[in-house]
Amino acid sequence: MSAPASSGTLRAVGLSKTFHAKGQAPVQVLNDCSLTVAPGRLTVLMGPSGSGKSTLAYILAGYIEPSSGQVFLDDAPVKGPGPNRLMIFQETTLWPWMTVNNNVLFGPLVRASDVKVEAQNRARDLLARFGLVDFQDKYPGQLSGGMKRRAEIAQALINNPRVLIMDEPFRGLDVMTRELMQEYYLKVFEETHPTTLFITSEIEEAIFLADVILFMDPALGRIGHRIEVDLPRPRTFDVMASEGYREIKQRALDTLYAHEEVEAYSPQQTGMGG
């Protein structure tokens, strides 16, 4: 598979977002939120439901404009969505009338029809990596939930984005399928190192995948803490039995519980989900 496009630094500076609805009080979700997604690293964003994780992801991807603040990719201001920042949503984005192979090929062929042979080679490689070669002529409706997720990740990676934003992509999958998906993506990441922002509410998933974990503080509407995950790569699930993993998990739990205690006594209310 081709290496990702020159990995970039995605940076948010002073983001605030307030939602307004007719007849209702304004709801502030983000307040002076800043973060950096370092190139070639897997950055995980954690926080409880309603802490603003998904809102932040949508702003970074360019789908929502912030009320204030700015997003930069390699020091260039981000204005709207673009192929250099691709997002994998919680819901499926496969076109139901296209085969798996055609779904994966869609992006490159739309942008440049003269790269068909190269795109087909990259698609073949990605389908092999995600165990989908035998299903490339199937339609999304014929796939399991895990297969759809694999196809969607391949659909994004074939475009060689500088940054991949994944908004709880394995949410709703059963435990075994979710763990399988974690292994699939981790293997691809460790081989090609696409700059990744991965959003989750699951501590075990965060630690298993991450180079660094950022924690949303729901009371403040911004990043509150970060933990460097200094576990060796390549990783397998065996790492979860290590002392280092247990220490990081305890620090993560302490951070989340501290946020919950502060939120319980905070007068500030945050809104939109994620």
Q: Which two tokens stand for residue 53?
A: 């994780």
- Whether residue 273 is contained in a domain is answered as no
Give the CA distances from residue 197 to residues 44, 104, 178, in Å, rounded to whole numbers and listed in that order. Answer: 6, 21, 18
Does residue 32 lie in a domain region? yes
In a domain, 14, yes or no: yes
137: confidence class by pLDDT, cuts 50, 70, 90: very high
Contact 184, 130 (CB under 8 A): yes
At 43-66, the pLDDT tens digits run 999 988 888 999 999 999 999 999
% of the chain exceeding 90 in pLDDT: 59
- Residue 51's pLDDT is what? 86
Residue 4 lies in a domain: no
Domain residue limits at 176: 10-264
272 within some domain: no
Cα separation, 2 vs 5, in Å, equals 9
pLDDT digits 0-9 by tens, 262-273? 444 344 443 445
Q: What is the CATH number of the domain that holds 188?
A: 3.40.50.300
Q: Assess whether pLDDT exceeds 80 at residue 259.
A: no
Average pLDDT over every residue of 158-180: 90
Residue 107 lies in a domain: yes
Q: What is the pLDDT of residue 50?
A: 82
In a domain, 142, yes or no: yes
Average pLDDT over residues 132-141: 94
What is the per-residue pLDDT across 10-37, written as a single tens digit (0 to 9) for each?
A: 999 999 999 988 888 998 999 999 999 9
The amino acid sitting at 252 is A
Token pair 């605030």: residue = 16
> What is residue 1's predicted lDDT score, i.e. its pLDDT?
45
Q: How confident is the model at residue 73 (pLDDT cuts 50, 70, 90)?
A: very high
How high is the mean pLDDT of the chain? 87
pLDDT-derived band at 106 (thresholds 50, 70, 90) equals confident
Domain contains 144: yes
SS3 at position 29: strand
Which residues, in sequence order, are bridge partners of residue 12?
35, 71
Q: Which two tokens stand for residue 159?
A: 């475009």
Q: What are phi and psi of 128, to 5 degrees?
A: -65, -40
What's the structural domain count of the chain?
A: 1
